[in-house]
Each structure stands twice: as C-alpha cells, then as structure tokens.
Structure 1
Amino acid sequence: MTRTYNISISNRIEETPRVTALIENEVFRAGFPQKDVYDILIAVDEILSNIVYYAYGEGGDGRIDVAFLIDDGKVELEFSDEGVEFDPLKKKDPDTSVPVDKREIGGLGIFLVKKLMNSVEYSRVGQKNNLKITKIKTGE
C-alpha cells in the first residue's frame, strides 16, 4: 500500500523537526530497520539545513516543501524550494583521504547523502529546485 505525505515549512531551522518527526514516525511504522531510518533522517537533516542556510540568502523568506511516499520497501522524498538555483550533485565529492584541515570547505554533507541513499536526483523546474532521494529497505 502506497502512503504519501506532504508538509510545507518556512525556511527556519526551528521548523525542521516537524519534518523529521513525521518522516521518522512513518518510516518506522512502515517496518524499516532502525539503521535505514537513521540514514534517512541524517540525509533529511542535511538537505533541510542546506536549504535553510543557503537557498534564500541570509534572513530571506521562503518555503520548503517536502513530499514523500512509502511504497513496497522504498521511501522516496522530494524537497522543493524557490531559492537560488543550486545543483548539489555538480559539486565534486571531497577527497576523504586528505586530512580534514587540508580539505576544501563544503560538499561533505551531500557526499554523505549520496552514500546513505540509494539514489539522489536534482532538477530545476521553473523557479524551483527539486532534490529527490530514495532509500530501499535493507534486510537488517
């Protein structure tokens, strides 16, 4: 049975727990193992934080729309905003063999999202950034 959810928040960090709480509750309820739920929550937190801090400029007003569905052992989440156009997948993965203090700043969060999720896709439709992530249930 497919279950779909939509939530819209303002681009304030204080709003993000509303999204993560809903996702956590529904993904656990769908029978996903704890590790999968944690992977999803880490990815969601990273994506929402990036949108809040970078999409609308410092102090800018904006909305973040999150749509997700749970279906047959898979969770798909899509994050949309009307902020500055930014494709996080174009950012080169950080070289994790380089010591942290020698690395270029930025990119580690989306790198982590790509490692934790089964797929990550970006599109720009009109004035909207859309980032879609998918997690397939593991056997754990």
Structure 2
Amino acid sequence: MTNTLIIKNELEQLTRLYAFLDRQAVTYGLEELQLMQVKLALEEAVTNVILYAYPDKKDQDIRIDMSYENKRLTIVITDTGTDFNPLERQEPDLTLSLEERPIGGLGIYLVKQLMTEVTYSRSAGKNILTMTKDMH
C-alpha cells in the first residue's frame, strides 16, 4: 500500500513532511536509527526540490509516495520543476579541506550513503527521484 503526501515548494512544509514520515514509521515499525537515516535523506532530497526545482514559481506541488513491502521502504519524490538529475553531480572529493571543496554535492552524497538505492528518471515533464532502503 502506498501513502501519499503532497506539499508545496516552501521550506515551512518540511514540518508536514516530518509528521507524515513519523506516522508511516510507526505503521511500518521502523527503528529509531532507521527513521533518523530516512528522515535525513528525505529532508535533503525534498529540500533540494523546494530550493531548486521551481526557481521562479511559488505554490508548486511536490509529491511524496511512500510504501513498505518485504522489509524495503520505497520513497518516490515527484515534481514538475526544472529538469535536474542530482545523481549526475560529481561525487565530492572528501580528501579536500572544507576551504578547498566546492560548494554543493554533499547532500546527494549523503542521501546515497543513507539509502540502499537511489535512482532518477524524467518522464512526462516530471523529475522522479526514487529512494529505497532495506530494513534488516
């Protein structure tokens, strides 16, 4: 069964996202550490959409679909914003000092570390980011 939340592209909407995730976590029986990891990844991915998908538009929808089956959590984030594949960003060079490191790229790196699998597709004018996490 898939549960859906639709939020607007405003940072204030993150509180609705957290409440939605917390409700699902109880239903799915997620452990505290798993919930924290998923929350961090989800916050990073959705914040990117809020900040960058609609550069000049307010009041745009971001859809989050969440399902849990066979100990695998699947989250699909869909928006109709600017075509952007965060997975094409170059991996950050973590050997560089903070001063030398270019800005950006750490968030999606973090998402990829926290989740089991992260994929992106563009279909019918929509960005679709799918994140899965195996819960063992």
Runs of at least 4 residues off by over 2 Å:
58-61
SS at match of 2:118: strand
Q: CA distance change for structure 1 residues 126 and 115 in 2, over 3 Å: closer, same or farther?
A: same
Percent of aligned pairs with the same amino acid = 32
Partners of 2:120 and 2:57 in 1: CA distance: 25
Asked if the contact 1:9–1:65 (Cα under 8 Å) also holds between the matched residues in 2, the reply is yes
- 1:110 maps to 2:111: no
1:96 has 2:67 as partner: no
Secondary structure of the residue that 1:115 maps to in structure 2?
helix
Instruction: State the number of aligned residues.
Output: 136
Residue of structure 2 in register with 1:29 after alignment: 27
How big is the shift at 1:68? 0.7
Is the alpha carbon distance of 1:24 and 1:55 closer, same or farther for their aligned partners in structure 2, counting shifts above 3 Å?
Answer: same
What do you get for the CA RMSD once the two structures are aligned? 1.2
TM-score, normalization by structure 1: 0.92
* Separation in structure 2 between the aligned mates of residue 20 and residue 132 of structure 1, nearest angstrom: 18
* Consecutive unaligned residues in structure 2, runs of 5 or more: none
- Gaps spanning 5+ residues in structure 1: where? none
The answer to which of 96-105 and 27-36 deviates more is 27-36
CA positional deviation for 1:59: 4.9
Taking structure 2 as the reference length, the TM-score comes to 0.94
